[in-house]
Structure 1
Amino acid sequence: METRSFAPVRTAAYRRLLAVFAALSAVLWAVTTGPSATAMAADDGLRSLFGSENREIRTPERVVAVTFNAAWNDAGLDPVLDELARRHAPATFFLTGDFADRHPEVVRRIATAGHGLGNHSYSHPYFADLTAAGRREEVGAADRALRTAGAGAALTPYFRFPYSETRPEHITEVNALGFADIEFTTDTNGWMGTEGGMTVDRAVGRALDALRPGAIIQMHIGAPEGRTEVLDAQALPRILEAIGTRGYRVIDLRTLLTTPPAPGTR
């Protein structure tokens, strides 16, 4: 895979123009390929992800995915969105339903910026402590909250378990609701903050130590009450720079819906 140079996006108007162009391109593609072909490709791609916690993209290509979780608040969102735009890098944001209810404008900002939105449960509980009905309600309530907040076409059929606490039977339940579980290869642990012994250098190091074809990097926006620093927002420019320098490309996880993994890939 080629190394890309990232040119800065100079104005907010230019970013909006890019988003409009992307939306028009998607509509044109759907029209020219036909709705049945589009739906079949998306269905095949989604089902290829079922039955697994998907901690890596199954590909030999030098591509990685960048993801963010959010449950507390939107601290750090501005620099994250600005850096992603400057680098022309897509990301997927896994939001809790409670977050979407409290910050609907953030849901719309992420969608307008062209990024994907995923389901991270409604209240971020330990799923093992819930009944099957309780787990279904957590997924369904979060989905409703994201839709009500205005996620629109940015909403993906992807779910990420709170605390990355996965069990095969819980993955099966989520799949039955129409969601693929997307976890991560590595977490930068930036969410721990300096109080938890983390630094920007350590967050960057954790991301780059896991860099390999198909890696999924997890970061966070937001900060718990009483804290304002968001180490992942500070680490992101260095992580994206190193990804490009090392010959990798950041891809949109939504492409997995129309390009299922090839047989024999991991």
Structure 2
Amino acid sequence: MPEGQIIKALSGYYYVHEEGSNQIWQCRARGVFKKRGISPLVGDYVSFEPSSNGEGTVTEIAKRRNELIRPPIANVDQALLVFSIEEPEFNQILLDKFIVHIEKADITPIICLTKLDLAATLDGIPEEMEIYQKIGYEVFITSSKTKIGLSDVEEYLKGKTTVFAGQSGVGKSTLLNELDPSLQIETGEISLKLGRGRHTTRHVELIRLPSGGMVADTPGFSQLDFSSIEAEELSGLFLEFRDYSEQCKFRGCLHQNEPSCAVKSAVEKEEISSQRYQNYLQFLVDIQSEKQKRRY
């Protein structure tokens, strides 16, 4: 039975790129998946049974390395978190929220700061970028207008499957156009090739880049609440907390009000960013509030 990868899901059909060929099969999923409460996802590696006219049926889904629920996609290597210096202004708490959800899904976060041309000087780059580099995150600073940093991003996407994330207006579509000019995605206008413009993407699709690698074109990240994250695991999603957490006096320390907390001590010594810590506390309150609501 042939195998392949689902590269698009639309209106109950799954478009499978057959392994070892250029053929795309339009498939339905076996009814047994629905009975088991399983839905095939874009990015899934599958076995399928061909029928006629390029159609077929997905019969098996291979074990996933990871998955996201919204957008629904599986087997992603990394997430390019796209934020702009200005228009809209850089938003650190939103970036940290994205990072937490991406870390939770066991996907590697990469930070891409766009619109460098709007910074009057290099001093215009948010100083927070240095914090993320120190933590160990890959950070790219780019300008689609002046082409700065674009080749570095392109090189980093080679051979990997990358999902793009970021708020509207930060330059995701512009960046995708620079990576593959044939996409012709236009802000506020309908794309000649893809038949969509701003906010019109309604399905998830994997696009193969000319330089290698695949990027996920998605309707966006619509689930950034904390319903799937427990208070006890939040600390582990802040990478710089991990080593310090092991030194806390109490096992399961939430780094909130507990005495002899190594994380709070590291914040006081400026070994951990105070802003990142404040964002952590805010997320912790959000998680505890949601849990309280569910209880009642």
RCO higher in structure (CA 8 A, sep ≥6): 1
Do both share a fold (TM > 0.5)? no
Q: Kindly indicate which of the two structures has a greater share of residues assigned to strand.
A: 2
Q: What TM-score, normalized by structure 1, do the two folds share? A: 0.33
Greater Cα radius of gyration, structure 1 or 2: 2
Q: Kindly indicate which of the two structures has a greater share of residues assigned to helix.
A: 1
Q: What TM-score, normalized by structure 2, do the two folds share? A: 0.31
